Amino acid sequence: MNEHLGFGVLDYDIAHLLGGAILVLSFALLAQRRLAAVINLFAVQSAILAAAAAWQGHVHSDAELFLTAAITFAAKAVIVPLALQRIVRRFNIHRSVETAVGIGVSMIVAVGLVALSVLVVLPIGMQAATEALTREDLALALSVVLLGLLMMISRRNAISQVVGFMSLENGMILAAVGVAGMPLVVELAVAVLVLVIFLVFGVFLFQIRERFDSLDTSRLDAARGEGR
């Protein structure tokens, strides 16, 4: 086992550390009880994602990745959290996060999802060592995506569902950043997607709030026309 100790190639180690931090923050997002904490953690996660993109740009000497990092930081670490905080203040949504599934149970399911993504990604081919490390990054990114989805389905509050969707996107960007040579156009498309979704969700939130006087999406079920 000792030969693995000389494994400490700094480039990959820092990339893995940043990826691991993003995954830990996804877990932390699932464990929060207050909306303000959820939004702040999402901002930190996006900042670390920007740092990961910048590091990959430094390692592969790719200027586009630096631009990606800047856009991620500006859009998802600064603008979106500020906007969400404003929504929370404006509608006086100073509530705790309502969960459909208990926090302990969602933690256990989250661990299972991480194990699942590791088991799925790893056996895919066995090439040179550098590709092996990229596979480890992919496993991390897939875990973040799955945890974002879990957050979306296990929360009742629309804002935490939005944050879950955005952390899912963080996972996808992490996967794209890990693979060498991602074109910028994808990042622009993703950024546009973010803004569009945000606008849609924003309008959606306004409408829900006006109609039902709360942002609890379970109340939408009654309006679907099916009996409860």
Q: Which residues bind another protein (CB under 8 A)?
A: 1-10, 13-14, 16-17, 19-20, 23-24, 27, 31, 102-105, 107, 111, 114-115, 118-119, 122-123, 129, 132-133, 135-136, 139
> Tokens in use for 63?
């200027």
Instruction: Judge whether 76 and 166 are in contact, CB under 8 Å.
Output: yes
Complex with another protein: residue 98 or 216, whichever CB lies closer: 98
CB of 185 to another protein, least distance (A): 31
Complex with another protein: residue 22 or 191, whichever CB lies closer: 22
Instruction: Judge whether 184 and 67 are in contact, CB under 8 Å.
Output: yes
Q: Name the 3-class secondary structure at 195.
A: helix
CB of 9 to another protein, least distance (A): 8
Instruction: Judge whether 71 and 191 are in contact, CB under 8 Å.
Output: yes
Q: How far apart are CA 48 and CA 70, in angstroms?
A: 12
What secondary structure letter does DSSP report for 77?
I
CB of 118 to another protein, least distance (A): 6
CB of 34 to another protein, least distance (A): 14
Per-residue exposure over 177-195, b if at least 16 CB sit within 10 Å of its own CB, e if not:
bbeeebeeeebeebbeebe
Q: How far apart are CA 124 and CA 46, in angstroms?
A: 29
Complex with another protein: residue 123 or 181, whichever CB lies closer: 123
CB of 165 to another protein, least distance (A): 23
Complex with another protein: residue 11 or 221, whichever CB lies closer: 11
Complex with another protein: residue 19 or 57, whichever CB lies closer: 19
